[in-house]
Amino acid sequence: MSKNFDVVVIGGGPGGYIAAIRAAQLGFSVACIDEWKNAAGGPAPGGTCTNVGCIPSKALLQSSEHFEHAGHAFAEHGIDVKGLSLNLPQMLSRKDTVVKQNNDGILYLFKKNKITFFHGRGAFVKNDASGIELSVTGKTNESLIAKQVVIATGSNARALPGTPFDEKMILSNTGALAIGAVPKRLGVIGAGVIGLEMGSVWRRLGAEVTVLEGLPTFLGAVDEQIAKEAFKLFTKQGLGIQLGVKIGTITTGKKDVTVEYVDAKGDAQKAVFDKLIISIGRTPNTIGLNAEAIGLKLDERGFVQVDDQCKSSVTNVWAVGDVVRGPMLAHKAEEEGVAVAERIAGQHGHVNFNTVPWVIYTSPEIAWVGKNEQELKAAGVAYKAGSFPFLANGRARALGDTNGMVKFLADAKTDEILGVHIIGPSASELISEAVVAMEFRASAEDIARICHAHPSLSEATKEAALAVDKRALNF
Ligand code: FAD
Ligand code: NAI
């Protein structure tokens, strides 16, 4: 006997579970299918983000930063730490506990919102007058009929051709978050978000980290001035970043991995690592969905084809998050999930792609929203720029964390904020003010005239806005 629902969501990551909650809030009968298993084989909803992405990486970033600070930064504050040692099993176990708290939180939210959760793999069976039929294959098998389906099946790490992940020596994000002993020599291919975050974690814990990046520019999507500052700081910290390399043969031995590559000068190089993380982007996950059964169209790269409303090629089938175009970010997936649930209810769900913030959780953090200088130049937009260094911010000095700056880009004529770029302490939190300002189409002058608490890092935001008209007060 099939079970009937108004809305069935396939995937319980940030896109899927949030879509399910919003649909339930709007009065629909909702089911969510997710196949992720915890170590005991039980359900672990939350997707990549909760299990092997945002949450565990931030747990390890925090722990490794504490370790590094205890190692030297505390001394400046007059705190002498003697006999410092690393308890990596405890650090990893804490990370696992944080993940489990989030898994359990989502299961609780399903119950609270009367969402029926199915633990298993969801696949399309057929689409006819009675609705869209899906199968769930898990401990028990189920048949579901849905009026509307939301696909939120996420993404997987992209492997280098000929070098599959074994998660022992060749690591994706999954293995990178669970290395049992600090590797002496850690190689990372790809100086993107994962490469820099994971490289930072293991460097802080004692690994000698080499990051090999294919492109000649560092962090090409980031404002050039900020990327330059980041490169300088990360190199000073000891991350060995090599740009413009061409990766050749990778050979896995019993105890090490050898990477042959050609460096930016064109010279052949060979590097030997104890572990190798490959972080060269992610691919959409539609494995096992049986998309053909309902004629669901995928694009040439395997993303579910959707319009700007997240409608797929099949009526009443929607798709959100990493499995569709746009940035692969948890908060983008969530916004799409909410918007789709509201559209199903006949409301006007809204996602503003121009104000989706980006954060790289290195130290210092990098965060931005809107356009960067090179994009504005390329588009021929006349703009004004203003920046303010954390070195001139009292709170940053008190924290002992003065690297970086806040930078504003505003329209030369109207003063509307076009982009805000931050590298520095708590950039991930500071960027929210810029996001709100841009949503309300504020001018730099608006931020410059708002009272900001003293002493706070947010004063650097106000000062950068003042600097747009060359009126910074403290610099
Ligand atoms: P996912 O989170 O991938 O969830 C998809 C779910 O669907 C999974 O549980 C999967 O098992 C399930 N599934 C797939 N197919 C089926 C099926 N047929 N049946 C049943 N279940 C299925 N983003 C940020 O915004 N901030 C960060 O700090 C951040 N850090 C990251 C760190 C790392 C190391 C990685 C890898 C990613 C990070 N991301 C971060 C990106 C973020 O994790 C993704 O953008 C986000 O998880 C996408 O959400 P989603 O719901 O689309 O997919
Ligand atoms: P990425 O797209 O951020 O970076 C991949 C890097 O690998 C790029 O610099 C690219 O030029 C390089 N590269 C690609 N092919 C290569 C090759 N053959 N040889 C050498 N270099 C090569 O992808 P990443 O780091 O894998 O992360 C995937 C996605 O996950 C991110 O784009 C982001 O959407 C998400 N994520 C978000 C985080 C956050 O919000 N803080 C943290 C981690 C991941």
- Domains in the chain, please, with CATH? 3-157+283-351 (3.50.50.60), 170-280 (3.50.50.60), 355-468 (3.30.390.30)
Output the CA 12–ligand 1 centroid distance in Å: 9
Query: Rounded CA gap, 422 and 415, in Å?
Result: 19
Its sign, for the CA torsion 211, 215, 220, 221, is negative
Residue 377 C-beta-side C-alpha neighbours within 13 Å: 6
**For residue 11, what are the contacts with CB-CB under 8 A and spacing of at least 6?**
32, 33, 34, 47, 122, 151, 152, 153, 154, 321, 323
Q: What is the pLDDT of residue 366?
A: 98
The residue ranges of the chain whose pLDDT is under 70 are: none
Please list, in sequence order, all residues whose beta carbon lies within 8 angstroms of the beta carbon of residue 188, skipping any fewer than 6 positions away.
195, 198, 199, 209, 210, 211, 212, 276, 277, 278, 279
Using most ligand atoms within 8 A of CB, pick from 194, 231, 242, 422 the residue to mutate for ligand 2: 194
228 by Cβ neighbours in 10 Å (0-12 / 13-18 / 19+) ranks as middle
Q: What is the ipTM of this complex?
A: 0.99
Cβ pair 20, 32 in contact under 8 A: yes
Q: Which residue has the tokens 């070098």?
A: 163
Element (H, E) at 134: strand 131-138
Nearest residue by C-alpha to atom 35 in ligand 1: 53
For ligand 2, residues with CB inside 6 Å are 160, 189-195, 197, 212-215, 247, 279-282, 327-329, 359-361
Q: Phi and psi (nearest 5°) for 465?
A: -65, -40
158 DSSP 8-state letter: P
Q: What is the pTM of this model?
A: 0.98
Give residue 445's pLDDT. Answer: 98
C-alpha span between 446 and 428 (Å, rounded): 21
**What sign has the CA pseudo-torsion 324, 330, 331, 334?**
positive
Q: Which atom of ligand 1 is nearest to the CA of 327?
A: 45
Helix or strand holding residue 318 (H, E): strand 317-319
Which residue's alpha carbon is nearest to atom 20 within ligand 2? 214
> What pLDDT sits at residue 72?
86
CB of 56 closer than 8 Å to CB of 98: yes
191 Cα nearest atom in ligand 2: 9
| Region of residue 302 (left: phi > 0; alpha: psi -120 to 50; beta: else) | left
Catalytic position from the list 72, 77, 350, 454: 454
Of the residues 36, 124, 153, which should be mutated to test ligand 1's pocket, given the most ligand atoms within 8 Å of the CB? Answer: 153
Cα distance between residue 177 and residue 167, in whole Å: 10
> What pLDDT, on a 0 to 100 scale, did the predictor assign at position 312?
98
Backbone angles phi, psi at 366, to 5 degrees: -120, 130
Tokens of 37: 């298993």
pLDDT confidence of residue 73: 87
**Cα–ligand 2 centroid distance for 213 (angstroms):** 10
Is there a catalytic annotation at residue 350?
A: no
Which atom belonging to ligand 1 lies closest to the Cα atom of 320? Answer: 52
Sign of the Cα torsion 91, 93, 96, 98 reads negative
Residues in a beta bridge with 219: none
Closest CA to 368 of 433, 316, 415: 433
**Of 47, 52, 144, the residue nearest 92 (C-alpha):** 52
Task: Tell me which residues have their CB closer than 6 angstroms to ligand 1.
Answer: 10-16, 33-36, 47-49, 53-54, 57, 121-122, 152-155, 173, 194, 285, 288-289, 321-323, 328-331, 333, 361
Protein residue whose Cα sits closest to atom 30 of ligand 1: 54
